[in-house]
Each structure stands twice: as structure tokens, then as C-alpha cells.
Amino acid sequence: FSRRRQNRRRRRRRTNEKNAKTTTTLISNDAKENDNDDNDNNNNNRRKEPDAIVSVKLDQDGQRDYPIYIGSELVKERGDLLRKHIKGETVLIVTNETVAPLYLEKVKESLLLSSSSKSLRIESVVLPDGEEHKNLDVLDLIFEKALDARLDRKTTFIALGGGVIGDMTGFAASAYQRGVNFIQIPTTVMAMVDSSVGGKTGVNHKKGKNMIGAFYQPQCVFVDIDSLDSLPEREYNSGIAEVIKYGLIRDAKFFDWIEQNADKLQKKAIDRKSLVYAIQRSCENKAEVVELDEKESGLNVRATLNLGHTFGHAIETGVGYGEYLHGEAVSIGTAMAADLSFRLGWIDENLQTRTVDLLKRFDLPIEVPRGSMTKEKFMDLMAVDKKASQGKMNFILLKGDLGGCVFTGDFDQTKLRETLESFVDGRISR
């Protein structure tokens, strides 16, 4: 009897020890799960957040609104943000020969590493680089790739590059199977602050710039300022021309800020905090205008964003696409618009001088190259500008205090001829 009782006690002890080990194992597993949760939470806490997010508001119900994410290391660390705006499981990345070796694989890797991208299929097409390739023939390469890859209507096109790539990808997205989603990942200042925002897409024609296109809004704009590290200084400065534009036409305080912080915005000595602010404020200005006048209706609000563009587009077309960067042509056009505004008595000499001097601080051209254009050539090309109406050329000109402008064709045309003659002959009034 005593031996049986001892045996029972031994069995109970072994059972208790076994249960104790099992409980310890379960606690350990729970602890590991909790540790993993904590690690996930810590990773989320450490996750790189955008330095700024600008919202583009298009509808009262918000259905077509989209964010502009601005910051550094976004491509590297925030593929999940991109993935959130991809509706289906297929992507076509459109880029060019310059950008592809630098960023194409990084974008692919970022998308595939995001937790919800396990089944994402990524195709890509690499186009030739340059404004001279922004035409229907090169656009067709995007359609050929999409069709060869049998991409369906749930595909998202991603524009990875500067303004040319963004415009062409957006136009292709608007037309492919009558419209697929697209995302902008701009890699130039010009694209970050202007062309990637607002939904203008299209290609050039030999008779005019951006004459074939559509208004088509992206799902989001993903601005990673790290991509500017590889941008040549000339292209960087070209984009600053559009930054300066916002201050001239509607944001006097921003213009003052650019003047005061121009040294911090120089490519050779960029202050990244200042750069983020310059991009953010530019995008906010652009978004506010697009919200008021998305498709350049009779309000002519959005048309004011084209300060310097009537002259600039004529230069680009007349000299030849690719000879001037877009921002360089706009810089010359802005100087011409300021000159005409001054001749009309609409601005004082101080504002004209400040405009030209700020452009020069970024090594931007302010003169028409000798022998490249004539007054007649300017007039012919400006007559087919998109802003022309009923045979009348319209311009965005500065008027009043800094930050004021008008969209008009009603002014003394002799002053226009004086401006053209002055710039063509190299006799600029400053």
C-alpha cells in the first residue's frame, strides 16, 4: 500500500513538472509574440515619415484628392506608401535611360519588400532621355510594352523621372484601355514643384509644345529629395525657375524667403530643410491653384501658372527641343514678361530688377541667344500657343505689387514689339 502511494505521488510530480514545462513554453511563445509585436511597433515608430504631406483637393467628396509626399529616403524605406496607392497587382514603371540605372531597381525592391506586395507583378519600359523625345512615336513605346505584357485595366503606371517622363506616362495612362491609374515619382526639381502636380499630361508636336495631351490626375506624388543628389546642377537650377515663379505670381512672402535663403538652395551647398520647404510651399501654391481651376476654365486662374511660358515655349520650339531645358526657357520668358510689364507701367523698376537678379543667382539665362530667334519667329510661334484665344495672344504679366499678376491680351501691342526687339537684339531694359 505504501509503495502504491509513493508511485502515485511520483506520477503526480512528473505530471506537474510536465505541465510546468508546457506552461513555461507557452509563456515563452507568448513572450516571443509580444516581443515581435513590440519590435514591429518599434519598427513602425522608427519608420521614416515624410517631412511634409501636401493634399491636392479636387472634389467636395474627396474621391479624386491625392497626397504629395515630400521627404528623404522615401523610396528606400516607404514602399508601403506607394503600395497603398496601387489598386491592382500589376505595375508598369516608365523611366528613361538616365534615371533607370540609378533608381529603377530601388523602386522595384521597395515595392516588393513592402508587406502587402508579395504578389505584385512589376514591368518596366525605358525611354530615351530628353525633351526632343517627347513625341507620339516615343509615347507608342509605352503602349507597346503594356500590350506585349498584357497589362489589364487594373494596372498602375508609375512615372519615374523628370517632367518629360511624367507628362508622357500620365498621357499614356489616360489613354491605355481608356484610363488606368498612375503615380508620379519625380526625380527633378522641375517635376517635383510643377509638372508632377495638377494632372497636365501630353507630348510635343513639331508645331508646338504640349499641344497633344489631356488633364489626368495621379493617385499620388512621391517626392524623394535624395534623387536630386544625382541631378546635374544645370537641371537643378532649371527647376528653381518654377519655384521663383510662385513667389512672383501669388506669394510675395515666399519670394522674399527665396531671396533671403538663395544660398541655402544652391546645388553645391543644399540645406535639406530649406529645400523641403521650397518644394512644399511650391506644391501648396500649385495645389491651391489647381483646386480653384483644375482644367483652365474661363476663370483663367490656372493660366497664371504659365508666367514666362508663352515666350519660353516659343524659344523651346524655335531654337529646337532639347537645346534649352524647360526651366531655362521659362527663365528667359520670365525676364521678358517682367520687361514687358515694366514697359507697360504695371510694375516698378525695383520689382523688375529683383526678378532678374534672383534668376541670375541660380545661373539661369535671362537673354535670348543672338541669332536664334527673330521678332517674326516669336510672333508666329506665340500665335499657336495654347493660351491664344480667337486669334489673340494672351500673356501672364506682372501687375501691381509683388505677388500680383494678370492673364490678358489687352495691352499696348507696341510694347510687346519693343520687348521682342530688345531681347532679340540683345538690348535688354533693366
Residues with a known catalytic role: 178, 200, 242, 286, 296, 302, 306, 309, 313, 326
CA 295, CA 168: separation in Å to the nearest integer? Answer: 18
* Cell representation of residue 314: 516659343
CA 33, CA 190: separation in Å to the nearest integer? Answer: 47
Counts of helices then strands in the chain (DSSP H, E) = 15, 11
DSSP conformation class of 389? B
User: Which stretch of DSSP H or E encloses residue 213?
Assistant: strand 208-215
Residue 163's identity, in one-letter code, is G
Residue 93's alpha-carbon distances to 75, 111, 124, 182, 195, in angstroms, are 14, 11, 5, 10, 18
CA 100, CA 71: separation in Å to the nearest integer? Answer: 21
CA 53, CA 279: separation in Å to the nearest integer? Answer: 11
CA 361, CA 352: separation in Å to the nearest integer? Answer: 15
Return all residues near 74 (Cβ < 8 A) that are at least 6 apart: 48, 50, 81, 222, 223, 224, 226
* Cell representation of residue 257: 524667403
Q: Would you tell me how many other CB atoms lie within 10 Å of the CB of residue 285?
A: 23
